[in-house]
Structure 1
Amino acid sequence: MENTSWEQKVNALTHILTNPTTTAPPLHSQLFIATQIPCYLHWNYPPLLCHHSAASSPPPLMRWALLQFFKRASRLGLPETSWRSKCPYQLPPPLVLADGLKKAEWGGEERKKYVRERLRRKRLGSNVNPLIPIVVPNLLLLSLLFWDPIPFDHT
């Protein structure tokens, strides 16, 4: 990746952004990316033109296949979601919606209803009594007055 030019990186990035997919990329797309950025193992694109350098390590295509397998196995085969999958009203709409979200409805009343539902949701965070973070540390400090953990008599 370090030996690729900025033009190749921009071409590859433009291609990826203009051709989003949730499944494996088509072959012509994989070949285009392989010609632009040949040795990058953490993409969905196989490193077809990457040269095998060390004799002890597995070939790049094998390492890429193992990385893909472990990524999918860790999600138990479920599709990969991102922050976009939680935003149904974004344009263009996300390819995969997050669990619990409905497809965006673009009528005026539907959007007002969606905003009202979002505003009624409980805020993120924990429901801890605000006295607890104040009282507990103060009680711990007060306990040090009655219990001396480090005695000062060294005789």
Structure 2
Amino acid sequence: MKQITSPIFQSFLLLLSQSQIDGWTSNKIWNKLNLSKDEKQRINQQQLYRLLRKLVHQGHLIKNIHLDNPRLSTFNETKSMDTFRKQFDIKTLKNDAGKLGFKTKQLKEKQKIYENQIRASEQALIDFPELKIEIMRRKNQLLQDIEKLKAYTDFLTSLI
């Protein structure tokens, strides 16, 4: 199964990494997903049901159908769920490294823009000497922002 970028799939992977599905109803799984208020929509609930059906079909889950009330049917993991977890742990790690790399690139570009603005402030001082206080205040703010960006970029780089 390939990784899906939907909030349901990501939350489901997180749930799988923290818990084992053992005798859970689909409603219990839905309630255990860490979803925002906006994400708790009917369409996402339907995506969860499709995902559960697919996992049953692929043999990762077993569905025990309750004869009196099918809504009370429960799900249990099979041994193959461990391989499913491992498959997505690897993909999640690679995906996270890619996100970190992309974010550090964005931060470095933003830092270059700020540095260019600081260089431009020198010309602004020449052209508008009457705005010296405002120009210096903005320049100092940019210098502080650059230091924060550098610290955050270094931190993200250390995680890669």
Q: Could you tell me the TM-score, scaled by structure 1's length?
A: 0.31
Higher helix fraction (1 or 2): 2
Which of 1 and 2 has greater Rg? 1
Higher RCO structure (Cα 8 Å, ≥6 apart): 2
Higher strand fraction (1 or 2): 2
